Structure 1
C-alpha cells in the first residue's frame, strides 16, 4: 500500500487542530499495528518451518512408538491373571496414550482410528465375557443397591448387564422412568423462602446482564449509525464510484491484470456490502494520488471507523499469539529471545522425545509376559495418589472387570 502522506497532510490543513491530530494519530496506529501483525506472522511462519524440518520427524517417530505400545498392551487386557486394579490401570494407561495422540497435531500419517479400533476390540471382548459371567445373585445385589437409592426403579437383568458394562446407561434408564423430574431440594422443602431468595438473586443477575447488554447494544447502535452515515456520505460514494470505474475487469485487456482487478473488484463490493469504510479508504488511497478533502462531519465520523479498525487489529494479534492452530502452538512452546535460545528449546525437546522412544522400545522388548507387565502396572499404581472410589469403580469391583 502506498504511504498516505498526502492524506495526512490534507487532514491537517482541512480540519481543526484536535480532529486532525486524532485522525493522524489513529491512522499511524493502524499502520503500525498492521505492520506488527504482518511481521509477527512472518516470525511465526519462520519458526514453524524450522520446527517442521528439525523437530517434526522426531514427533512422528514418538507417535509411531506410542501406537506400537498401545497395540502391544491391548493384547493383555483379556488376561485373566490380571487383578481388577491392574486391568483398570492398564486400560487407563492405554486411554491416556490414545488421548495424547488424538489431540496431537504432529502425528504424521499415523492412522489413530485403526489403533483405537484394535484397543476397543480387545476391551469389548473382555467386557462381553465378563458380563456374561455375572450370575443372578450378583445381578440381584446390583438391583437392590440401585433400588435403595432410586425406589421404584425397574430394571431387567439385561438392563443391569448393560449398566455393569457402561454405568452411564443408568442415567438413561433414570431419565426414561422419570427420576429427577419435579423434585425440590430438602433445603427448599424445609424453608420455602430459600427458593424465593434464590429466584430473586437469579432475577437480579438476569436484569444486571440485560442492562449490560442493553448498554452495549445502544453503544454499538450509535457506532453503527455513525459508520452507516459515513459510508453513505456523498464523498465516500464518489470514491466508491471512481474505484469501481478504475478497477472494473471488463475494461482490462491484459489477462493477468484482469484477474487482479477481478479480485480487487470483489474486495470493493464486499466492503460496500459490509459497510467497511476503512477498506474503501485503503483501496482509494492505494489507487489514487489526489488529495482527499473531507468535510467536518465526515472527519468526525472517521474517528470511530479508525478506532474500530485498531480494535480488530489488536484482537487479531491476540489470536495470533493465543490460537490453538499448529503455528501458534509451536510459537508458544519454542519461541525464545534469540536464535540460540530457540535452538536450545528444539534440542531439549528432541532429547525428551528420543528418551521416551527409547523407553518404549525397551519396554516392548522385555515386557512380553503377564508377569513382567504386572510389575510395570504395580509401579504405576503405587505412584498414583489414592482417590475415593467412584460409582464406576464400585461397579468394576463388584463384577471383577
Structure 2
C-alpha cells in the first residue's frame, strides 16, 4: 500500500512550486564569470552554471509537459471513469464479496475470487483511492469471517488479532502516519468514519515536528568558518537584490506589481537556499561586476554550493518522474489525444464499453451456480490466452 496520497501530492506540489517560481528568471546566460582560463576555478564555476541551467530547464519542461497531460486527463478521461466505470466496478466488487462469504464456495474458487477482486480494486484505486480503500477493507473483513468459522477458538482469536494489526497498518500506510484507534477495534465497520473524516490537517497536527524541514544547501559546508562566511555573502546578495527591487520604491503600478512577484521569488529562493535563483535575480536586476571580484576561497565555496544545487535539481527530476500518477502508456496515449481529438473520443468510448461489460458480468451473478459457471468461463479464457501467447512466441 502506498503512503499517504494527500501527503505525497502536497510534497509534489511544493517541488513544482519551487521550480515554477524559478521559471521567471533568465535561463539564457550560460556563463556566470568572465574567464578564458580553462583550468581556473572560474571555468569550473561556468561549467557548473551551464549544467545547472540545463537541468533546471529540463525540470521545468517536464513539469509543463506533465501539467498539459494531466489537464487533458482530468478534463476528459477522469470524469468519464468516475461517471461510468467507478459505479460498475463498485457494484461488481460488492457482489463478489457477498458471494465470497457463502459456505458452499470451495477454497480454490475463493482464491480465484480474491485474485479477481484484487484486479478490479487496482482500477478503483486509480480512480478513487478512498473508495478503493473502503472496498479493500470490506473484502478483508469478509475474508476474516470466512476463516474464523473454519478455525478453532484459539486459532480464531490469533487470526482476529492478526487482522486487527493488518487493518491498522493499511490505514496508517494510506495516511502516512498514526491515526486515532477506534475503541471498538480495527475492523471495517468501526474504521469507516476514520477513512471519511481523517484529514490532511489532522495528519500534520499529529505529526508536528516529526517531519524534518528541508535545510538550505548553503548550510552544508565543511567548516564553521567557511559556512559563516558564505552565509554572510549569500545574505548580502539577498539584501542588495531586495533593496534594488523593493516595490515601495516604485510609483508605477505595473512595475510595483512586477517587483512584488520578483520579491516573492527572491524570498522563496532565500528560504530554500536556492543560490542559482538568487544569482540570476541579482544579475538581471542589479548587475554590477561583483561576480568577477571573488577571492579564490569565495570561488571554492561557490563551486561547493553549485555542486549541491545541481545534485538537488537532478534528484528533483527523478522524484518528479516517480511521482507521476499516470503510467507511461497513459502519457503516450494522452500525447496522441492532444494531437487528434478522435483518439480522445476512442478512449472515452473504450471506458464506457468496459463499464457495460462489467455491468453484464454483474447481472450474470444472480446465484452461486452462476458465479461458478462464470469462473469456469474465465479460467478457460485465461488458458486459451496463455496458449496463444506461447504459440506466438514459438513462431516469432
Residue of structure 2 equivalent to 1:142:
none
- Could you tell me how far 1:374 is from its partner in structure 2? 1.0
1:42 to 64, 70, 76: 64
Query: Aligned-residue CA RMSD in angstroms?
Result: 4.5
Residue of structure 1 equivalent to 2:230:
230
2:243 to 237, 242, 245: 245
Equivalent residues in 2 for 1:260-271, closer than 5 Å: 265=263, 268=266, 271=269
Aligned positions, number: 302
Residue of structure 1 equivalent to 2:108:
85
Residue of structure 1 equivalent to 2:375:
377
Residue of structure 1 equivalent to 2:212:
none
Separation in structure 1 between the aligned mates of residue 327 and residue 269 of structure 2, nearest angstrom: 34
Please report the TM-score for the alignment, with normalisation by the length of structure 2: 0.59
Equivalent residues in 2 for 1:2-401, closer than 5 Å: 2=26, 8=31, 11-12=34-35, 18-60=40-82, 61-102=84-125, 104=126, 106-107=127-128, 111-112=131-132, 115-116=135-136, 119=139, 130=149, 139=152, 158-163=153-158, 166=160, 168=162, 221-222=221-222, 228-233=228-233, 238-248=236-246, 265=263, 268=266, 271=269, 276-292=274-290, 293-297=292-296, 298-321=298-321, 323-326=322-325, 329-330=326-327, 333-335=330-332, 339=336, 353-379=351-377
- Could you tell me how far 1:225 is from its partner in structure 2? 6.9
Separation in structure 1 between the aligned mates of residue 224 and residue 280 of structure 2, nearest angstrom: 20
- Answer with 1 or 2: which has the greater Rg: 1
Higher relative contact order (CA 8 A, sep 6+): 1
- Could you tell me how far 1:45 is from its partner in structure 2? 1.4
Unaligned 5+ runs, structure 2: 1-24, 167-219, 384-396
Please report the TM-score for the alignment, with normalisation by the length of structure 1: 0.58
Q: Deviations over 1:103-157 (max 9, x none)?
A: x1x349x8445545665665566556x35xx7xxxx4xxxxxxxxxxxxxxxxxx
Separation in structure 2 between the aligned mates of residue 261 and residue 47 of structure 1, nearest angstrom: 32
Unaligned 5+ runs, structure 1: 140-157, 173-219, 386-401
- Could you tell me how far 1:373 is from its partner in structure 2? 0.7
Q: 1:228 to 1:268 in 2, by over 3 A?
A: farther
Secondary structure, aligned partner of 1:368:
coil
- Could you tell me how far 1:68 is from its partner in structure 2? 0.9
Residue of structure 2 equivalent to 1:389:
none
Separation in structure 1 between the aligned mates of residue 269 and residue 228 of structure 2, nearest angstrom: 12
